[in-house]
Amino acid sequence: MRNYRWLTTYVRQGFRRHALRPTDPVHVLLCIADHYEPGNGNVSAMQADARVDAWTHKYPRLFSKFRDSDGRPPQHTFFYPLEMYRATEVERIARLCREGFGEVEIHLHHDGDTAENLRRTLVEYKNLLAHQHGLLSRDRETGEIMYGFVHGNWALDNSHPAGLGCGINNELDILQETGCYADFTLPSYPSPTQTRKVNSIYYAVDDPAKPKSHDWGVDVGTRAPPARALMMIQGPLVLNWQCRKYGIVPRVENGCLQANQLPSRQRVNLWLRAHVHVRTRPDWFFVKLHTHGAVENNQQALLGEPMVRFHEMLALKAAADPNFHYYYVTAREMYNLAKAAEAGRRERVCELRDFQLFSVTVALAEK
């Protein structure tokens, strides 16, 4: 029952959650965080190359015609795995990003690691992506290279109960100290690494004496950020009572996009019901979805008719409802908007996408 502990939090949230009224303004901030692994399954370099080629060729052709409420095309955030790094793959993805379709961030699978090795590895990798490929972002005040993070196998901060997939109890501190601006791993259900805290944007503070320090934290926008805190941006995790197992037990909506979990109008409503937000901007709905988009079976969903229909549906909904607005954002932009909301800023989304961190990729493309 360890991976159902989140249900208690979810039930408590339900008492505070109110149904959307037709007159309520809705600004959907939509981010797709792709655990992008061209080498998944230990495939050959030729097959990995073909997977990347599918993305670089099909994505602009299928989605460049769509525009959000700011007039921007769909954005995709490629969390590229450090341990699968191939320069030719990264450069082709970087080229797609420079064309205006997304950004690259850091993904890592590691097991039985040490704090010293992790720290060195993350610093070396972020410098490689920034200096060799013109990727990642920089802090406007300090100029430091910054990155977003997704942990492989969901095992952030040694959170697997069997100690698998990490091995480091002070991982949150190491991430924060090496320039990680936010973690985008969650939700991880049905993995036993799932946290008690759900449907939240919050600050987690590391306790090096124990694993899974991000199991709980302080909601962004409720008080000043704690010292040594790392922002956690979660995707939706809700019960779907309209789709039941055996006709009785509700299925769980976890924000995953893949071959057997296609985007739909019903799922959009569930994502909105999760109401992941910063308290100072309740009209901003942070919808962080996740996928493993490089593998072939999921490409059929992400680079095919299901996603085309999804973007068409968003456009039609916005055209029919003057209170509904949607914005394609990268992980970096989602963080910037969370920080802007925390600061009480009331400008439009388009004016706050680069609030604290600016994209190295975009800056280079504009030169």
- 280: confidence class by pLDDT, cuts 50, 70, 90: very high
Please give the average per-residue pLDDT across 99-120, as a whole number. 97
Q: What is the pLDDT of residues 152-161, one digit of tens each?
A: 999 999 999 9
Residues 9-24 have a mean pLDDT of: 77
Q: Is the pLDDT of residue 181 over 80?
A: yes
pTM for this model (two decimals) = 0.96
What pLDDT score does 241 carry? Answer: 85
Percent of the chain residues topping a pLDDT of 70: 96
pLDDT above 80 (res 18): no
Return the CATH architecture of domain 24-365. Answer: Alpha-Beta Barrel (3.20)
pLDDT per residue over 34-53, tens digit each?
A: 999 999 999 999 999 999 99
Give yes or no for residue 8 having a pLDDT over 60: yes
Condensed to tens digits (0 to 9), the pLDDT of residues 73-84 reads: 999 999 999 999
> pLDDT per residue over 285-328, tens digit each?
999 999 999 999 999 899 999 999 999 999 999 999 999 999 99
Helix (H) / strand (E) element for 244: namely strand 238-245
Query: pLDDT category, 142, cuts 50, 70, 90?
Result: very high
Least confident of 16-25, 114-123, 231-240, 272-281: 16-25
pLDDT, residue 3, reads: 74
pLDDT classification of 243: cutoffs 50, 70, 90: confident
Domain boundaries, the chain: 24-365
Mean pLDDT of 179-189: 98
Question: What's the mean per-residue pLDDT of the chain?
Answer: 95
pLDDT of residue 19: 67
Q: What is the mean pLDDT of residues 162-172?
A: 96
Between 12 and 350, residue with greater pLDDT: 350
Pairwise pLDDT comparison (179 vs 246), residue with the higher score? 179
